[in-house]
């Protein structure tokens, strides 16, 4: 089978082995049914055959030979089905052809031996055996249809004796029966061969589809593994790259606060600060793009008021817009939307920041939302220099900047709109752009409309007891010495007392420093515990919710989902020193 299948079906040559295995499986079922059927029919024939037919006494031997041969074949099928040995598979086509040839010959010879020379007195017996032979022949063709040698051998062995017998014996059938057999044999052969080729081609196609499905599943598994490995790599490289950059930012801020106010010193510091800011922006943007491509941003949809988002963005960017000579406004709305508030805010932030950077002249930016058939279209209008029609698709590509051929870093990196495109795709929101040169731009995001719900007030932190009086003592838990040293230097300049530890013992440290009033902890520490566990231990032992800030360079989706369920503020490295100072002030005031 393995040798001739590729020649019959060269398009499936690579799958010949699988087709052979499946063909044997199907043939084992059909020939087993055929063997059982032949034995039953032979036994019934033995019982009903007239006793006055010449040579009828030999019918017992005829029946016994069939019972023995087909019983052996059934035992062989059962053995192969159970153990699937290479040896039995190799013997299969030969034994199959032999048993089919035997069955065909024993029935063809039985017709010649028992009724081929029958006279008119035994016409009913001859007709009966002939009808039974036709049924056995048809059933045998169907049983052997999957194996061409077995099929051909059965057909010829069953009909050839009868054909020869009609031209030799002077029975009641004579030549006309021989001619009928020839026509019947040719018709059955053509039908059987056509059905065989059709079934084998269908079988090959089915096996090919099964193989392709397995290959697809294998490749999918490999892709999922590669994606998981990429996620772990991104988390590791994110943490390792952000650590030195975080230390650099803290040292740079410390240097600015202690350096002399000479023009040259301020100029050098300005250059250092610009380089650090550019590096920070590039790192964050590239890691964001990589994470979005890897599908690492978890989507947390909820219903919330659009006005809250617009107001917050207006507050964040008003001062930056004023520095560029731009008036930033928003239109209040009572609409509620259904989206991920954090990711949607990042989209609008990027679009507003992009508009401020690329206005090209003093002007006006307007934020608002329009209701549209179950959706809200959030729009960001500006009256800047605009974007030519032929460039409007290109601006969403990575590192593409329309009005910055010299790659001036102060004009951005060309990743803002690429991140916007990925975020809107992740949220299944449509983004649109309308613009004319000299007339400004309008970016729009289509967000599903939600039922209007009253704003829920933020939960008030529950204190276990009244907090003690603050004395400005901050505990830094950090396993990176550069980050710890730079942060210690900066906090000292801000007037805080600083405690340093890589793996603190909360009970011992609180006993020695009961005046502790703030904790800054890295999440990923070198020991068995992480920053979250240590902060929770400190709070439990102190008996009140000590203000704390968790900082981390790990931006994996699993960690993000875990942190979202906690009441501990989180900031990702590299954190801006000014933002850190705000955290210290705000969190201390809250408690």
Residues in the chain: 591
**What tens digit of pLDDT does each residue of 300-348 get?**
788 999 998 998 888 878 888 888 888 999 999 989 999 988 788 888 9
pLDDT band at 125 (very low <50, low <70, confident <90, very high): confident
pLDDT band at 446 (very low <50, low <70, confident <90, very high): very high
Number of helices (H) and strands (E), helices first, in the chain?
16, 12
pLDDT band at 12 (very low <50, low <70, confident <90, very high): very low
| pLDDT exceeds 50 at position 294 | yes
353: tokens are 């920041």
| pLDDT exceeds 70 at position 8 | no
Which of 64-78, 336-350, 403-417 is predicted least confidently? 403-417
**What tens digit of pLDDT does each residue of 204-244 get?**
888 788 888 888 888 888 887 876 676 666 656 666 666 77
- Mean pLDDT value across the chain: 79
- Is the bond into 574 cis (omega within 30 degrees of 0)? yes
| pLDDT exceeds 70 at position 501 | yes
43: tokens are 């036994």
> Would you state the pLDDT for residue 184?
84
CA 258, CA 65: separation in Å to the nearest integer? 109
pTM as predicted:
0.44
515: tokens are 């005046």
| pLDDT exceeds 50 at position 460 | no
| pLDDT exceeds 70 at position 171 | no
Looking at per-residue pLDDT, the higher value among 460 and 552 belongs to: 552
Which of 55-64, 179-188, 581-590 is predicted least confidently? 581-590
CA 141, CA 68: separation in Å to the nearest integer? 21
CA angle 474, 477, 479 (to 5 degrees): 145
Looking at per-residue pLDDT, the higher value among 419 and 26 belongs to: 26
Q: What is the DSSP letter of 359?
A: -
172: tokens are 């009641």
Average pLDDT over residues 417-428: 82
Looking at per-residue pLDDT, the higher value among 391 and 122 belongs to: 122
> Would you state the pLDDT for residue 541?
87
pLDDT band at 469 (very low <50, low <70, confident <90, very high): very low
**Do 355 and 317 meet the contact criterion of CB atoms below 8 Å apart?**
no
CA 345, CA 367: separation in Å to the nearest integer? 13
- Is the bond into 169 cis (omega within 30 degrees of 0)? no
CA 478, CA 525: separation in Å to the nearest integer? 7
CA 241, CA 551: separation in Å to the nearest integer? 14
272: tokens are 């250092």
| Bridge partner list, 499 | 475
**What tens digit of pLDDT does each residue of 99-111 get?**
999 999 999 999 8
Q: Closest Cα to residue 521, out of 556, 547, 559?
A: 547
pLDDT band at 264 (very low <50, low <70, confident <90, very high): low
pLDDT band at 74 (very low <50, low <70, confident <90, very high): very high
CA 541, CA 44: separation in Å to the nearest integer? 92
DSSP element (H, E) containing 473: strand 473-477
SS3 22: helix
| pLDDT exceeds 60 at position 180 | yes
Average pLDDT over residues 112-122: 80
| pLDDT exceeds 80 at position 98 | yes
Percent of the chain with pLDDT over 90: 19
Burial (Cβ within 10 Å: 0-12, 13-18, ≥19) of residue 12: buried
**What tens digit of pLDDT does each residue of 143-168 get?**
999 899 999 999 999 988 888 887 77
Looking at per-residue pLDDT, the higher value among 386 and 169 belongs to: 386
| pLDDT exceeds 50 at position 465 | no
CA 348, CA 371: separation in Å to the nearest integer? 17
> Would you state the pLDDT for residue 144?
92
| pLDDT exceeds 60 at position 558 | yes
| pLDDT exceeds 80 at position 259 | no
Average pLDDT over residues 360-380: 88
| pLDDT exceeds 60 at position 504 | yes
| pLDDT exceeds 70 at position 452 | no
Axis-axis angle for helices 306-323, 341-358 (nearest 10): 30
Average pLDDT over residues 7-21: 56
> Would you state the pLDDT for residue 316?
79
């Amino acid at each position: 089978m393995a040798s001739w299948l590729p020649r019959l079906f060269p398009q499936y040559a690579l799958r010949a082995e699988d087709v052979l295995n499946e063909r044997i499986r199907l043939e084992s079922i059909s020939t087993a049914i055929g063997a059982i059927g032949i034995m039953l029919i032979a036994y019934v024939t033995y019982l009903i055959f007239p006793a006055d037919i010449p040579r009828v006494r030999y019918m017992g031997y005829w029946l016994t030979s069939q019972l023995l041969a087909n019983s052996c074949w059934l035992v062989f099928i059962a053995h192969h089905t159970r153990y699937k040995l290479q040896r039995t598979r190799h013997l299969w086509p030969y034994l199959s052809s032999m048993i089919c040839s035997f069955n065909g010959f024993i029935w063809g010879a039985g017709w010649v031996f028992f009724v081929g020379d029958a006279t008119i007195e035994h016409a009913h017996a001859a007709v009966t055996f002939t009808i039974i032979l036709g049924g056995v022949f048809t059933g045998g063709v169907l049983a052997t249809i999957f194996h061409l040698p077995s099929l051909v051998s059965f057909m010829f062995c069953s009909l050839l004796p009868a054909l020869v017998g009609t031209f030799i014996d002077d029975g009641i059938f004579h030549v006309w029966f021989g001619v009928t057999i020839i026509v019947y044999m040719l018709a059955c052969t053509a039908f059987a061969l056509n059905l065989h080729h059709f079934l084998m081609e269908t079988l090959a196609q089915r096996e090919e589809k099964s193989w392709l499905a397995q290959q697809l599943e294998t490749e999918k598994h490999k892709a999922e593994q590669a994606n998981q490995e990429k996620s772990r790599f991104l988390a590791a490289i994110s943490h390792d790259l952000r650590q030195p950059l975080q230390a650099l930012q803290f040292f740079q801020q410390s240097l600015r606060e202690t350096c002399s106010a000479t023009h040259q010193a301020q100029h050098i510091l300005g250059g250092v600060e610009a380089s650090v800011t550019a590096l920070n922006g590039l790192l964050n943007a590239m890691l964001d793009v990589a994470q979005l491509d890897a599908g690492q941003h978890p989507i947390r949809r909820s219903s919330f008021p659009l006005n809250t988002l617009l107001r917050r963005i207006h507050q964040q960017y008003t001062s930056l817009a004023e520095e560029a000579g731009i008036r930033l406004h928003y239109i209040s709305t009572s609409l509620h939307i259904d989206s991920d508030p954090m990711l949607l805010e990042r989209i609008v932030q990027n679009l507003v920041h992009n508009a401020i950077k690329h206005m090209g002249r003093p002007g006006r930016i307007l934020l608002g939302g329009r209701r549209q058939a179950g959706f809200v279209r959030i729009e960001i209008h500006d009256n800047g220099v605009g974007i030519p029609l032929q460039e409007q698709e290109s601006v969403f590509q990575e590192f593409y900047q329309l009005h910055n051929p010299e790659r001036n870093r102060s004009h951005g990196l060309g990743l803002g709109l690429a991140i916007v495109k990925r975020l809107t795709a992740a949220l299944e929101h449509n983004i649109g752009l309308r613009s004319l040169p000299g007339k400004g731009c309008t970016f729009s995001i289509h967000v599903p409309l939600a039922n209007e719900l009253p704003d829920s007030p933020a939960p008030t932190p529950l204190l276990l007891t009244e907090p003690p009086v603050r004395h400005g003592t901050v505990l830094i838990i950090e396993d990176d010495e550069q980050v710890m040293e730079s942060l210690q230097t900066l906090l000292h300049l801000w007037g805080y007392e600083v405690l340093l530890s890589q793996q603190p013992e909360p009970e011992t440290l609180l006993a020695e420093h009961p005046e502790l009033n703030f904790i800054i902890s890295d999440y990923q520490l070198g020991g068995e515990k992480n920053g979250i566990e240590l902060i929770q231990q400190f709070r439990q032992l102190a008996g009140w919710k000590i203000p704390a800030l968790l900082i981390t360079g790990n931006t994996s989706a699993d960690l993000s989902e875990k942190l979202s369920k906690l009441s501990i503020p989180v900031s990702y490295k590299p954190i801006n020193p000014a933002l850190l100072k705000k955290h210290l002030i705000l969190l201390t005031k809250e408690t």
